[in-house]
Amino acid sequence: MFSTLLGALPRPSDGPADALASLASTGLELLSTGEPPAGAEQAPAAVVGAWRAAAAATDRPVKQVLAGPYSAGRDGAPSRPVELAESLRVTVVALAEAGCPFIEIDESAAEAIAVVAGERQRFVEAHHRLLDVVGGTHVSLALTGANLDEAGPATFFDLPYASYAFDLIAGPDNWRLIAAAPQDRGIVCGALDPRPNGDETRELLIWAAHYAASTNGRGPNRVGLANAPSLAPLDWPVALRKLSRIAEAVRIASVESPGEMARLLDPRAFGGRRDRPGRVRLAGPSEE
C-alpha cells in the first residue's frame, strides 16, 4: 500500500520547494506539487521542466498531474475533448521519455457521463486518443467530485489505465466501480474528508484500504490511500495534518501481523461488534 495526495493544496508563503519538503515530512510516499493540474495549453517542455525541478527537490517519487481532456473541454475550452487529448498526449509522451514515474490525469468534472450516453462516448473517445501511443510509465485516471458508477465499469476499465483514483467522499457509490475493477488495476481510495472538521478516523481509512485490496483478489500492493480533493481551501497546517493522517493509516494498514494491527487500532471505533480488534472474549458458563 502507499499514500499520496489528490487535488490541489493551499499555497504556503515560502514556495513550492518548501511545500514538497513539508509534504515529505507527513510521510506521504508519492508526492505532487499540489499545484493546479497542467493543461493541454501548456508547452510540453515547460511541464517537463517543472516536474524535473520538483523531482530534484525531494528524495520521494513525484507524480505529474495533468488536466483531463473531458473536464477541461467542458470548462469553457474552445476545443473538443478529443482535440485536447491529442494535444495533451504530446505532454504525456514527453513526461514518459523524461522518466516521470507516475502521470495522473485529473477528471474532476465528469459527472455528465453518468447520465448522458453521448457525453460518455465523448469521454471514452478522448481517453482512448490520449493513451493510444503511451507506454513505459504508469498513467492513472483520477475521477473526483461525483458518483460515476452509473456510467458503468466498461466506461473506465476498457481504457488502458494502470490505476484509478476514486473520490469516495463526494462519490460514495464509486465503491461499486472499485468492486468491479479488474484485478490487475491499481486503486487509490480518496477516503479522507477534505472539510476542515471532516472525519479523520484512521480506522475508517484502514478499512477502506483493506476493502479495496479484497476486491477481485487485488491485494495490498495495488492499493493506495489519499484525501478526497481538494485541500486548497484549508489552512496549510490543517492540510498537512490530514495528509499525515493518511500516511499514518497506510503504515498501520500495511502491518502484516493481525495482533500487531489490533494493538495499533482503537477498538472503540468498532462499537459493540463481537469481533472487533482487541476485544477480549469472555467464557460462557458452559465453557468454564
Mean per-residue pLDDT for 159-179? 97
Mean per-residue pLDDT for 159-188? 97
49 or 20, greater pLDDT: 49
- For residue 51, the model assigns a pLDDT of 97
| Size of the chain in residues | 288
- For residue 17, the model assigns a pLDDT of 52
CA distance 32 to 3: 11
Task: Enumerate the β-bridge partners of residue 138.
Answer: 102
Q: What residues contact 171, with CB distance under 8 A and at least 6 apart?
A: 143, 144, 145, 146, 147, 148, 149
CA distance 100 to 74: 28
pLDDT tens digits for range 101-116: 999 999 999 999 999 9
193: Cα separation from own chain's centroid: 13
- Percent of the chain scoring above 90 in pLDDT: 79
Mean per-residue pLDDT for 164-170? 98
Confidence category of residue 77, pLDDT binned at 50, 70, 90: low
Q: 10: exposed, middle or buried (C-beta count within 10 Å: 0-12, 13-18, 19+)?
A: middle
Q: In this structure, are residues 151 and 166 in contact, taking their beta carbons and an 8 Å threshold?
A: no
- For residue 161, the model assigns a pLDDT of 96
Residue 175 has pLDDT above 70, yes or no: yes
- For residue 18, the model assigns a pLDDT of 77
pLDDT tens digits for range 257-267: 777 777 777 66
Among the listed residues 194, 178, 188, the one whose alpha carbon sits nearest the alpha carbon of residue 227? 194
Residue 28 has pLDDT above 90, yes or no: yes
Confidence category of residue 8, pLDDT binned at 50, 70, 90: very high
End-to-end CA distance of the chain: 43
Q: Domains of the chain (ranges plus CATH)?
A: 2-262 (3.20.20.210)
- For residue 76, the model assigns a pLDDT of 59
Find out whether the peptide bond into 32 is cis, omega within 30 degrees of 0: no
- For residue 132, the model assigns a pLDDT of 79
Which grid cell is 124?
A: 471514452
Residue 275 has pLDDT above 90, yes or no: no
Among the listed residues 226, 239, 244, 192, the one whose alpha carbon sits nearest the alpha carbon of residue 26? 244
- Percent of the chain scoring above 70 in pLDDT: 87
Residue 268 has pLDDT above 70, yes or no: no
Among the listed residues 179, 165, 157, the one whose alpha carbon sits nearest the alpha carbon of residue 230? 165
Q: In this structure, are residues 63 and 30 in contact, taking their beta carbons and an 8 Å threshold?
A: yes
Among the listed residues 146, 197, 196, the one whose alpha carbon sits nearest the alpha carbon of residue 167? 146
- Evaluate the CA torsion angle 10, 15, 17, 19 in order and state its sign: negative
Mean per-residue pLDDT for 236-247? 95
Q: Which SS3 state, helix, strand or coil, does residue 207 take?
A: helix
- For residue 136, the model assigns a pLDDT of 74
